Amino acid sequence: MATINGAVENGQPDGKPPALPRPIRNLEVKFTKIFINNDWHESKSGKKFATYNPSTLEKICEVEEGDKPDVDKAVEAAQAAFQRDSPWRQLDALRRGQLLHQLADLLERDRAILATLETMDTGKPFLHAFFVDLEGCIKTFRYFAGWADKIQGRTIPTDNNVVCFTRHEPIGVCGAITPWNFPLLMLAWKLAPALCCGNTVVLKPAEQTPLTALYLGSLIKEVGFPPGVVNIVPGFGPTVGAAISSHPQINKIAFTGSTEVGKLVKEAASRSNLKRVTLELGGKNPCIVCADADLDLAVECAHQGVFFNQGQCCTAASRVFVEEQVYGEFVRRSVEYAKKRPVGDPFDAKTEQGPQIDQKQFDKILELIESGKKEGAKLECGGSAMEDRGLFIKPTVFSDVTDNMRIAKEEIFGPVQPILKFKNLEEVIKRANSTDYGLTAAVFTKNLDKALKLASALESGTVWINCYNAFYTQAPFGGFKMSGNGRELGEYALAEYTEVKTVTIKLNDKNP
């Protein structure tokens, strides 16, 4: 489970545990326009679109709906901000880092506001938004702030009488398309390294969840990033998203979302101008529980691993492989956990699970649940929507799942845990790897050799051993195979946001 540690600075001197943060009541949504050149703009078309609270099914507000002309305007601004001699290009790298630190400071200041907005817009529990999403954002900006003046090229001893060095330059105008499951966090994962390396950015937040991105725009302006460095165009995939992916003046695109759309983005990028592409896509992530595991730990981690964020994580532990000997007990304990999972109003401090994001996702999840029943998996608990509760689904556990069932092959993105059985290590390695996905994997064992063997054998960008969703800004994250291209976070992210230039200076052979 990701770190839950945010209220330390508010610790009471008398030793009582710190008070939980509270959401902002009656929060007014201030920022609903397109953000270009540190200014707020209406859409060129005049159109707006609505954003809803999935918990109450009510409209929160309307937001300016961008389309290609707005993207063009944003790209123009981003290009101008990237010109040689521009304030942004001439800034000391250390100073870029300081701006990122100041942005982190403002995120801390407005943490409760942002967490409230995020909860309204996504339906995720407020405490999760506060302690996981916002914590991750703040740490991400601080981590990359530290890298800004440490992005180093090399001097290289080549053959011949030559001086040779590399410069690690910013790529230029970077497009970023972010998802609705962790709107602000996924944005930070792109914005922080992009700005750290000196790029300028045109962002499209998910149409379901534009609000925190727009609020961030106001903070960008407040910190004092030069105009045009960050631009935000809310809108839809087929319009704004497509315009960004195929824009001839955008030099790189970063996308987090489904594999299906990721393929379209890469295709458009190639067809247009071969812009550099990084993708964070879906997963069908194996969670392998060996007989010698700490069973309680494994059960809890596997549970949070699949149910966290209403199951709406690319890292969802959606294939739990349990070694034969402990299978029965594992299922029993997992069902207990699932039955106890508090589903309800995301603003209630007791809630662990809120609604799914929208009707489309809701329908897809229920359809997959039905397929599980039809194809012969054993429904242990849940299996349907909460009665009378809009987009809420009961935490669902299937046992006796086999590899060919749809629930074992397709990404569900909902609160559904499929549990499968395995006999031996070689078998489970093969089964875990037989998927086009390859985002994460988890292993529960106390045995050193088994741990290292599985870590090496699993075809996943991240392997967690005796933990789950252990994200750290210092460590790279990304997928093998069709779960993505490239890496986010850690030093590795820098490579995705820089372009390497080799400079070779021939010296005069006549000189000493």
Q: Which of 39, 42, 72, 149 binds another protein (CB under 8 A)?
A: 149
Say how many C-beta atoms besides its own lie within 10 A of residue 85's C-beta.
6
Pick from 496, 470, 462: which is nearest to 193 by CA? 496
> Which of 64, 135, 207, 280 is the catalytic position?
280
| Smallest distance from another protein to CB 145, Å | 7
Tokens of 239: 């319009």
Select the span of 92-100, 224-232, 240-248, 278-286 touching another protein (CB under 8 A).
92-100
Task: Assess whether 280 carries a catalytic annotation.
Answer: yes
Select the span of 22-30, 292-300, 434-442, 449-457 touching another protein (CB under 8 A).
449-457
- Which CB, 157 or 248, lies closer to another protein? 157
Say how many C-beta atoms besides its own lie within 10 A of residue 157's C-beta.
7
Cα(482)–Cα(439) distance, rounded to whole angstroms?
8
Select the span of 140-148, 213-221, 246-254, 283-291 touching another protein (CB under 8 A).
140-148
Select the span of 32-40, 109-117, 149-157, 376-384 touching another protein (CB under 8 A).
149-157
In which element (H, E) is residue 115 found?
helix 111-122
| Smallest distance from another protein to CB 148, Å | 8
Cα(63)–Cα(499) distance, rounded to whole angstroms?
35
Select the span of 250-258, 328-336, 352-360, 446-454 touching another protein (CB under 8 A).
446-454
Cα(129)–Cα(499) distance, rounded to whole angstroms?
34
Beta strands in 402-494 (DSSP E): 416-422, 440-444, 462-465, 484-485
Contact between 394 and 383 under an 8 Å Cβ cutoff? The reply is yes
| Smallest distance from another protein to CB 96, Å | 12
Pick from 187, 205, 202: which is nearest to 75 by CA? 202
Q: Does 274 bind another protein (CB under 8 A)?
A: no
Query: Measuring CA to CA, how many Å separate 504 from each of 165, 184, 428, 507?
Result: 7, 42, 51, 10
| Smallest distance from another protein to CB 480, Å | 14
> How buried is residue 7: exposed, middle or buried, by Cβ count under 10 Å (0-12/13-18/19+)?
middle
- Residue burial 407-436, b: 16+ Cβ < 10 Å; e: rest: bbbebbbbbbbbbbbbeebeebbebbbebe
Task: Assess whether 313 carries a catalytic annotation.
Answer: no
- Which CB, 149 or 358, lies closer to another protein? 149
Q: Does 9 bind another protein (CB under 8 A)?
A: no
Q: Which of 75, 91, 145, 301 binds another protein (CB under 8 A)?
A: 145
> Which of 137, 174, 301, 314 is the catalytic position?
314
Contact between 429 and 459 under an 8 Å Cβ cutoff? The reply is no
Q: Does 94 bind another protein (CB under 8 A)?
A: yes
Q: Which of 59, 150, 389, 430 binds another protein (CB under 8 A)?
A: 150
- Which CB, 366 or 428, lies closer to another protein? 428
Q: Does 103 bind another protein (CB under 8 A)?
A: no
| Smallest distance from another protein to CB 216, Å | 22
Q: Does 98 bind another protein (CB under 8 A)?
A: yes
Sign of torsion, CA 61 62 64 68? positive
Positions annotated as catalytic residues are 280, 314
Q: Which residues bind another protein (CB under 8 A)?
A: 93-94, 97-98, 101, 139, 142-143, 145-150, 152, 163, 448-449, 452-453, 456-457, 473-474, 491, 505, 507-508, 511-512
